[in-house]
A and B are shown apart, each in its own frame.
Chain A
Amino acid sequence: MPDTPNSDDKPRPAPSPRPPAAAGADRPVRRPVPKKPAEMPCEPWEGTLPSALQERFGDRLSRAVLLGGQKLLVADIAAAFEVLSCLKQEHGFDYLVDVTAVHWPDKPEQFEIVWTLYSFSANERVRLKAGLAEGDLAPSVTALYSSANWLEREVYDMFGIEFKDHPDLRRILMPDEWEGFPLRKEYGIVQQDSDWVRENLKIESAQ
């Protein structure tokens, strides 16, 4: 798993240029493909909002960049709720577009929770990311945004990430008794909870 800098939660100096990704190197390329940058363009995000946030949260907000032109913040998981609360209450990000997670099994902080926010007044979109170690609790933002209820349930359902103070943390798409969290990387594409399938569908395999 290549370690992408944008998914890192620690501040680091300017991303070091790397050769094109190794995964496709063994594949012979017949004609020269147009040279692509190995990374997405990533530049520091200047403005009042990132500086205000950085001033307030200091080290706990490790990055504020424009990744491919999209505004991205990376914070400590412990500060995530405060950052979101500040974004909502002080900066007008009144619409929680999405909550999701990405699983990076090779990293110490296996999960990355991603909140996408939008401000109707400023017509501005911001993405906040925070790393989370296996077994730790993520903060629930249901108190700030009602839409987080189902979105966090889905994250719990798919990744097994538990949200602290969530009012109704149940599985949402998978059956309640299902074993395993499908969107984790170790969960195979054809894997199933055979016991559940046998018991509830009365068939040997759903594959």
Chain B
Amino acid sequence: MAETTLAPPEVQAETLLDSNELVLNMGPQHPSTHGVLRVILKLDGETVLGTDCVIGYLHRGVEKIAENRTFQQFAPYVDRMDYVAAVSNGLGYCMAVEKLLDVEVPPRAQAVRVILTELNRIASHLLWLGTHALDIGAITPVFLCFREREEVLKIFENYCGARLTTHAFRIGGLQYETYDTFEKECLDFCDLMEQKLKEYHDLLTGNRIWVRRTKGVGILNAADCKDYGVTGPLIRAAGVEWDLRKAQPYCGYENYDFDIPTAKTGDTFDRYMVRMEEMVQSCRIIRQAVDALPEGPIKGKVGKVIKPPPGEAYVSIEAPKGELGYYIVSDGSLNPYRVRVRPPSFVNLGALDKMCRGSLVADVVAIIGTIDIVLGEVDR
């Protein structure tokens, strides 16, 4: 066969390459792409040579809708982006509009906001932990996590009537005063959570298979994190002690004593440990906020008609998934002129290719899980 006519070198090279590659289409209907993410994988055997994300299956045009709604009317829509951390979305949006209006939020409202957002952070991390473990093949943690998450949702339901898309906050403060047993339920939940976290650690952290599946997988170091704009637990796992709650405190976070958990290598295991520790820190914040819950009004001086002066503001908060920013331009009318959401999931997902190259198919699933994306927020 040596004497057969050869194709021109460039064609030959291409065919040789092609014969080794398998293009695998993962999603949008796939058990572990967390919704409707579609990843096109280029594989050599089981090794990933490259990825291409196809997103937008859940695009609802949230930013366009914003331009056609008044400032208050748009507030419930933001809950539908990162629907597992709806409270954080609402907080970011309200803070951005408050910035435009230049309104002070009363301390009690701020404290309640902190409590609810931290509860939501725990709920979001629990959902992440359950699904992430499920992706790696541990089918039990997801049920345990949902058991605890249910407790958070019960508090939300008691507070504002909704469990998932809560619309808990209003521009200028809060709509509802807390209910009678609110403080007790929050503290009880913190006790429960600290106890149950041990259970998760027993089930996963000490499990050799879990450690082998996550250590050294999907490494993203600090420089890459900054380059790709990756924030949240991912950058903290890479060793950058950066949390907007500390760096640029809002909502009175400067009054609470908490640590920023970090790790060194920035692999999947580190991100897991960082998120686990973040839940502990959230419990700490909730305890402090509940203990020092001030009395007073729950809404600042905001008129019934919200009409910010012409101008613009960019306000960002530390959402469970990273930096969630709202850039709002007002032209002085009742509707925002432009609302831009800076979604952490979208930007973090941009680093998927970087993290996946050279790993195995099973790692892709683990990496998608560890980025902790919510497609509602990626696609908006």
Contacts and interface: CB of A to CB of B under 8 A. Distances in A.
Q: Assess A/B contact in the complex (Cβ within 8 A).
A: yes
Interface of A: 1-2, 4, 6-7, 20-21, 23-24, 27, 29, 33-34, 36-41, 67-68, 70, 94-98, 100, 102-103, 114, 116, 120, 123, 125, 127, 145-147, 149-151, 154, 158, 171-175, 182-183, 185, 187, 189
A150 B347 contact: yes
Contacts of B224: 146
Contacts of A29: 305
Contact of B310 (A4, A103, A114): A4
B56 A21 contact: no
Given A24-B305, A125-B314, A1 B64 contact: no
A172 B347 contact: no
B340 interface: yes
20 contacts: A2-B310, A2-B332, A6-B312, A7-B329, A23-B333, A24-B307, A24-B334, A33-B305, A38-B309, A40-B100, A98-B342, A102-B329, A102-B338, A120-B226, A147-B230, A151-B347, A173-B56, A173-B59, A173-B380, A183-B63
B293 interface: no
Chain B binding surface SS class: mixed
A37 B332 CA distance: 11
Query: Most chain-A CB neighbours within 10 Å: which of B63, B229, B333, B347?
Result: B229
B55 A172 contact: yes
A147 B63 contact: no
Given A123-B248, A146-B228, A189-B68, A2 B331 contact: yes
Contacts of A120: 226, 240, 242
Contact of A145 (B68, B229, B333): B229
Nearest to B65: A189
Given A4-B310, A98-B342, A173-B59, A23 B248 contact: no
A173 B99 contact: no
Nearest to A184: B64
Interface in B229-274: 229-230, 240, 242, 247-248
Nearest to A114: B327
B311 interface: yes
Contact of A67 (B312, B350, B379): B312
Interface of B: 55-56, 59, 61, 63-65, 67-68, 99-102, 224, 226-230, 240, 242, 247-248, 301, 303, 305, 307, 309-314, 316, 323, 325, 327, 329, 331-334, 337-338, 340, 342, 346-347, 349-351, 354, 379-380
A173 B379 contact: yes
Contact of A97 (B307, B311, B323): B323
Query: Most chain-A CB neighbours within 10 Å: which of B99, B247, B314?
Result: B314
Contacts of A23: 331-334
Contacts of B248: 123, 125
Contacts of A158: 63
Contacts, number: 145
A189 B61 CA distance: 9
Chain A binding surface SS class: loop
A94 B331 contact: no
A49 to B, nearest CB: 17
Nearest to B380: A173
A151 B351 CA distance: 12
Contact of B350 (A24, A97, A103, A147): A147
Nearest to B354: A146
B229 A96 contact: yes
B310 A39 contact: yes
Nearest to B311: A40
Given A23-B331, A40-B310, A171-B56, 20 more contacts: A4-B332, A7-B312, A21-B307, A23-B332, A24-B307, A36-B309, A40-B100, A68-B100, A98-B327, A116-B342, A120-B242, A125-B248, A146-B351, A146-B354, A150-B347, A158-B63, A173-B56, A173-B59, A174-B56, A182-B64
B380 A102 contact: no
B254 to A, nearest CB: 13
Contacts of A171: 56
A120 B310 CA distance: 30
